[in-house]
Structure 1
Amino acid sequence: MTALASLMPQPAAGDPAALARAITKASGTSFGPGMAILPRARREAMHAVYAFCRMVDDIADGPFARADKHAALAAWRREIRALYAGNPASGIGHALLPGVRAFALPQAEFDLLIEGMAMDADGPIVAPLRATLKRYTRRVAGAVGALSIRIFGAFMGPISDRFALALGDAFQLTNILRDIEADAAIGRLYLPADLLEAHGIPMDPARVAGHPALPALARELGAEARACYDEARRLAPAHSRLRLAPALVMMGAYEAYLDRMEALAWARPLPQPLLGKRQKLVRGLACALFGPGAPPSP
């Protein structure tokens, strides 16, 4: 089996929940602590969503021809349609089915997620327009948030979607700021075109790392990420803190990355690792236990 074939929907064999759990564990995701505190059915639904995300993300980012990537993503679109018709063919599809039924997960969010991966599959995104970046973050981060908040049992209607989308934007902007050099090394540049132009930075991934104006740009984009966290913080009290706890664990851990970059005055390159596992866990648990108030200094 080729590397790409292994990422396409595979016929169900064995325990689907165990498959999703193994994929999640192997990834070493930062979302692990947030998933771990969920009851079993909700935890397994999150593992299934994460395993699906892992497959389509690895397709989009893998060393495959563009046409092959799109063919593989199309196979997942068909599998999602089959899932919502009640007859998935793959192990991951079968792992998703109980959560889709129990927690009323919208098919549109899975479709949006695949659309976001297709944007990456078209080739490295370089200096996107704001509208393009917004469309991308809504798909790759907002969709995951919209699915997750339903699995957590915290969904309260439109206000919950606003919370999930604000937090998704916050997470994605934090990732972009953290991973500038790693993205540039593979020809990718998620920093928006208007900020690059405003700071006199070439729209060329190879010329961004080490540019003297990069800290100033990062500070400005960091303020936008902070505003997204603040919006999520404003909306959080409308929900049960207990039900929202997994999202708050993730929020605390991710905002700790932003705090750390800010404490370093946005200097590049960033120390590696930027935060230790214990630091992230402490911040995440503090956010869940005491609420997403003003975060402590890292």
Structure 2
Amino acid sequence: MSGEPPLPALLPSPPAPGLDPAAIASEVTARSGTSFGPGMAILPRARREAMHAVYAFCRMVDDIADGPFAPEDKRAALRAWREEIGRLYAGKPQSAVGLALQPGVRAFGLPEQEFQLMIEGMEMDAAGPIIAPLRPALQRYTRRVAGSVGALSMRIFGAWTGDVSERFALALGDAFQLTNILRDIEDDAAVGRLYLPADLLERHGIAAADPMAVARHPAIPALSAELGAEARAAYDEARRLASHHNRLRLAPALVMMGAYEAYLDRMETLGFRRPLPEPLLSAREKLWRGLACALFGPGRARTSATS
């Protein structure tokens, strides 16, 4: 784990003298190699910088929750971020990321609750490995770690129109998170986590005692197909709700949607067999699917990415 940042680097710290907070947030985003990069790149500068700041915040708290730190240190670090978000909304942020967030919070009306929900989701991970969650717990987790990002992003994109936008953001967040769970079964198991829901494990006769044993279980492809159908339904719901928005404003979300649904398409084409090939999709395939979704609408046309 030597490549992971030390805990002090993840705390809400002031920027070094002479460094621009927005540039620091953009560097965090670029260094991460996130799949959301192309979606952010097409935004005007102010909106792009706001997205980079949100992403940098999410990266910091996620690295705390995932890092090799003592549980009490994780809790203290996440509490420090709760306090920094409180200072941000009092107009007195102190950290580089908090200062980078401030212009977007003011310009785009970003609600404090969504940042606090993200931290709450990280606290769920930091409390100990999540193993075979019951549905209410999984839904609570997904709303926090994925729905919060969607609700913030839609406002930054200028696509927010109220209730229909919230439903779109939450449906797409569910779709993304379920796709991540299906893609990352082995990686999660390697750190003792198992996000596959308890009811599906029981239905397929899989004991949840050992995450690595679950990842190798012969019934995992059948379980994955069932959970994949749930992810597909969430994409379809987001697709239906997308039609109620200005497609130009929604374009960054559609780029992300196209790239992520391509992961699901590829896993489905492979019959959800494990282990998945590496890489599951090339950068070119993800970019093509993302741009196609933004340019031509979020249809279900298959491309070479799924062949």
Q: Determine if the TM-score, normalized by the shorter chain, exceeds 0.5.
A: yes
Asked if residue 69 in structure 1 is aligned to residue 74 in structure 2, the reply is yes
> Shift of residue 206 of structure 1?
2.4
| Secondary structure of residue in 1 paired with 2:243 | helix
Match of 1:293 among 288, 295, 299: 299
| Structure 1 segment 261-272 matched on structure 2, within 5 A | 261-272=267-278
Structure-1 residue corresponding to 2:59: 54
Asked if residue 113 in structure 1 is aligned to residue 118 in structure 2, the reply is yes
Alignment length, in residue pairs? 297
Match of 1:239 among 245, 269, 276: 245
Structure-1 residue corresponding to 2:283: 277
Match of 1:180 among 172, 180, 185: 185
| Structure 1 segment 8-157 matched on structure 2, within 5 A | 8-13=11-16, 14-157=19-162
Match of 1:259 among 252, 262, 265: 265
| Secondary structure of residue in 1 paired with 2:161 | coil
Match of 2:262, as an amino acid? A
| Secondary structure of residue in 1 paired with 2:271 | coil
| Secondary structure of residue in 2 paired with 1:238 | coil
Structure-2 residue corresponding to 1:190: 195
> Shift of residue 12 of structure 1?
2.9
Match of 1:217 among 212, 215, 223: 223
Instruction: Report if the CA contact (8 A) 2:263-2:281 is conserved.
Output: yes
> Shift of residue 296 of structure 1?
1.3
Match of 2:9 among 6, 9, 26: 6
Gaps of 5+ in 1: none
Distance 2:215 2:265 in 1: 21
> Shift of residue 295 of structure 1?
3.1
Distance 1:143 1:219 in 2: 27
Distance 1:86 1:191 in 2: 40
Residue deviations 1:206-253 (CA, integer Å, cap 9, x gap): 211221100000000000000000000000011010000000000000
Structure-1 residue corresponding to 2:164: 159
Distance 1:263 1:39 in 2: 36
Which segment is superposed worse, 102-111 or 204-213?
204-213
- Normalising by structure 1, we get a TM-score of 0.99
Distance 2:290 2:46 in 1: 22
Gaps of 5+ in 2: none
Q: Which of structure 1's runs of 4+ aligned residues deviate more than 6 A? A: none
Distance 1:39 1:296 in 2: 30
Identical counterparts, % of pairs: 75
Distance 1:151 1:83 in 2: 17
Which segment is superposed worse, 229-238 or 200-209?
200-209
Residue deviations 1:145-164 (CA, integer Å, cap 9, x gap): 00000000000101000000
Asked if residue 206 in structure 1 is aligned to residue 206 in structure 2, the reply is no
Distance 2:201 2:83 in 1: 38
